[in-house]
Amino acid sequence: MQKTIVCFGEIMLRLAPFHKERLIQASVLQVIYGGGEANVAASLALLGNKARFVTRLPQNPLGDAAISRLRALGVDTRFIARGGDRIGIYFLEHGASIRPSRVVYDRACSAISQASPEDFDWQQIFSDAFWFHITGITPAIGGKLPEISLQAVKKAKEMGLTVSCDLNYRKKMWTREQAKKTMSELVQYVDLIIANEEDAADVFGIEAETTDVTSGQLDVDHYKSVARQLMEVSKASQVAITLRESISASDNNWSAMLYDGSNFYVSRKYPIHLVDRVGGGDSFGAGLIHGLNKFSDKQQALEFAVAASALKQTIPGDMNLVTEDEVMNIVKGDLSGRVQR
């Protein structure tokens, strides 16, 4: 029987103007549901895995709609707690060319921010699971979530699950000092750390030497030291770092590296004309979890993850709506974009 991958976090209501308008000029907003760990669960389900998403949502039509969206994509929602008055919201203003994308949060007092440890029976939630995924966004929400997140990773390790954590630092949600204090303890129960080129610096003060993330070029060799240091401050046996070279808000180069304590693996680099970069890191995390469990070769697992996340950034919305076959076509080198008939 196929075992389950469990993801824990917040799913939010995303409201965004059409046609790259600014919020100040928009009269119509598009409704989409998404959030770091929910995006991972959805992608894993579409790639053929048994995926479960755990959160807390209000008992109202917006909470129902979020659950319906996850169920439609094949995600198990049985352990979603219901309660509270509101779903978290974020407003997204898409950037273009030299104008960056911007996010405005309206997530205070959301249902999950008021969660208590009693809302989640981790023994039951993990009963048929082999993998647990969380991100640094979840404890950053505040309330009792730092405590709940720590309980979850401890129970996952106690029950023999592999634990992955995307550091996902959000400066609008907590300070670097708060992040370091909480995440330093949490990563002692993590097997796979996922980060981008800035997370290690923001959370642990670990920086790549002579690298400027705003320059449009990154030196991969400098991130080998970052990966080593992330392994040293944690109990992780593997560290993955996504490498985004931001040429503009419309065009990026996208690649990644993986370190297993002995070897460094570096992926091919994809030039991407962005449709929607939100969820790019989440789709990488899902692709890597899938790849590490599908392929015996770590280079192949990494290439799958990078191809999957490159594809995501051509798709509107938070979630990576692609199949394994579509990703494998990219891995095999079909970047033509020709019509498939």
pLDDT tens for residues 153-175? Answer: 999 999 999 999 999 999 989 99
Domain boundaries, the chain: 9-35+53-115
Task: Kindly report, residue by residue over 231-286, the tens digit of the pLDDT.
Answer: 999 999 999 999 999 999 999 999 999 999 999 999 999 999 999 999 999 999 99
Q: Which of the residues are catalytic?
A: 282
Q: Using pLDDT thresholds of 50, 70 and 90, give the confidence band for residue 341.
A: confident
CATH of domain 9-35+53-115: 3.40.1190.30
Alpha helices in the chain (DSSP H): 36-46, 61-72, 122-125, 137-140, 145-158, 176-186, 199-204, 220-232, 280-294, 298-312, 324-331
Phi first, then psi: give them for residue 56, nearest 5 degrees.
-135, 130
Task: Supply the pLDDT for residue 80.
Answer: 98
- In whole angstroms, give the CA distance from residue 341 to residue 335: 16
Phi first, then psi: give them for residue 339, nearest 5 degrees.
-60, 135
Judge contact between 196 and 206, C-beta under 8 A: no
pLDDT at position 213 over 60? no
Q: What pTM did the predictor assign?
A: 0.94
